């Protein structure tokens, strides 16, 4: 399967621990997005990359959150000193942006985080 | 952020057509209208998009009002697999998607 993959699919951690999630986008896609989704709500934008450059970060992304896309391929999202409020589904999406057309984002299955 | 208005929930019977409405009165001339859906325990899935003309693909049809302030996603024959939350999105920028709460579609056998 050549879709967007995310690892792990589920993560349970204790408050105060650090966690890292990985996203592998569709090959050749130049944009990669991270979203967060809490129960009963639609996904909320966190940040996005154009190739390896991080171009925007939401105000939702506190100092404890950091994202990287070192070689313009896979990306990692790290949360330091997790809090119970970080419990959510973290979604990754990728797209291929071409001049003169709108983009379609393809989402991964998400990583469900539970902070105890 | 661009806002859309959708009913919280709708119900349909299997093999019947479903019309999912969306109001986007603040849409600008360059905005596209995107529809995504999210099945239980999965990430959102692209359904269809358009700007001015009605659009068809293998999954659905998109009917866009002449003033572009509303649109309707049409599933021609609902199946149980179509039960999902459907999100209507428009944006002024060609990147981040601003999701609302969407419409929860229930399909009855």
pLDDT tens for chain A, 116 residues long, are: 579 999 999 999 999 999 999 999 999 899 999 999 999 999 999 999 999 999 999 998 889 999 999 988 999 999 999 999 999 999 999 999 877 667 889 999 999 999 99
The tens digit of pLDDT for each residue in A48-75 reads 999 999 999 999 888 999 999 998 899 9
| 8 Å CB contact of B95 and A48 | yes
Are residues A112 and A10 in contact, defined by beta-carbon separation less than 8 angstroms?
yes
- Determine the distance in angstroms separating the CA of A109 from the nearest CA of chain B, rounded to an integer: 5
Q: How confident is the model at residue B19 (pLDDT cuts 50, 70, 90)?
A: very high
For A112, B1, B7, B32, the CA distances from A104, given in Å and listed in that order, are: 23, 19, 24, 11
Question: Nearest by CB to A41, which of B45, B94, B101?
Answer: B101
| 8 Å CB contact of A40 and B101 | yes
- CA B98, chain centre distance (Å): 13
Contacts of A44 in chain B (CB under 8 A): 99
Question: In chain B, which residue's Cα lies nearest the Cα of A50?
Answer: B95
Contacts of A102 in chain B (CB under 8 A): 32, 34, 49, 51, 94
Q: What is the DSSP string of B54-71?
A: -EE-SS-EEEE-TTSSEE
Question: What is the SS3 assignment for A13?
Answer: strand
B94 touches A: beta carbon within 8 Å: yes
- Determine the distance in angstroms separating the CA of A42 from the nearest CA of chain B, rounded to an integer: 5
B92 touches A: beta carbon within 8 Å: no
Contacts of A4 in chain B (CB under 8 A): 43
Per-residue pLDDT for B31 more than 90?
no
| 8 Å CB contact of B96 and A33 | yes
Are residues B50 and B64 in contact, defined by beta-carbon separation less than 8 angstroms?
yes
What is the reported pLDDT for A60? 84
- Determine the distance in angstroms separating the CA of B83 from the nearest CA of chain A, rounded to an integer: 16
Secondary element (H or E) of residue B38: strand B32-38
Question: In chain A, which residue's Cα lies nearest the Cα of B34?
Answer: A104
How far apart CA B16 and CA A108 sit, in angstroms, is 30
């Amino acid at each position: 399967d050549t879709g967007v993959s995310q690892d792990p699919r589920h993560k349970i951690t204790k408050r105060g621990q650090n966690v890292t999630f990985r996203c592998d986008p569709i090959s050749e896609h130049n944009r990669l997005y991270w979203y967060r989704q809490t129960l009963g709500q639609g996904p909320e934008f966190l940040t996005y990359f154009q190739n390896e450059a991080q171009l925007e970060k939401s105000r939702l992304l506190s100092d404890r959150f950091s994202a990287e896309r070192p070689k313009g391929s896979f990306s990692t999202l790290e949360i330091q000193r997790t809090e119970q409020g970080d419990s959510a589904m973290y979604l990754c999406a990728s797209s291929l942006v071409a001049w003169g057309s709108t983009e379609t984002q393809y989402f991964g299955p998400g990583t469900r985080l539970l902070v105890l | 952020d661009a806002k859309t208005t959708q009913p919280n929930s709708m119900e349909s019977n299997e093999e019947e057509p479903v019309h999912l409405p969306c109001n986007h009165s603040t849409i600008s001339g360059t905005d596209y209208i995107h529809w995504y859906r999210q099945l239980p325990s999965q990430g959102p899935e692209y359904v269809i998009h358009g700007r001015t003309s009605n659009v068809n693909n293998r999954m659905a049809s998109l009917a866009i009002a002449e003033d572009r302030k509303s649109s309707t996603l049409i599933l021609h024959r609902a199946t149980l697999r179509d039960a999902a939350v459907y999100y209507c999105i428009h944006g002024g920028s060609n990147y981040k998607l601003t999701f609302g709460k969407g419409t929860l579609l229930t399909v009855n056998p």
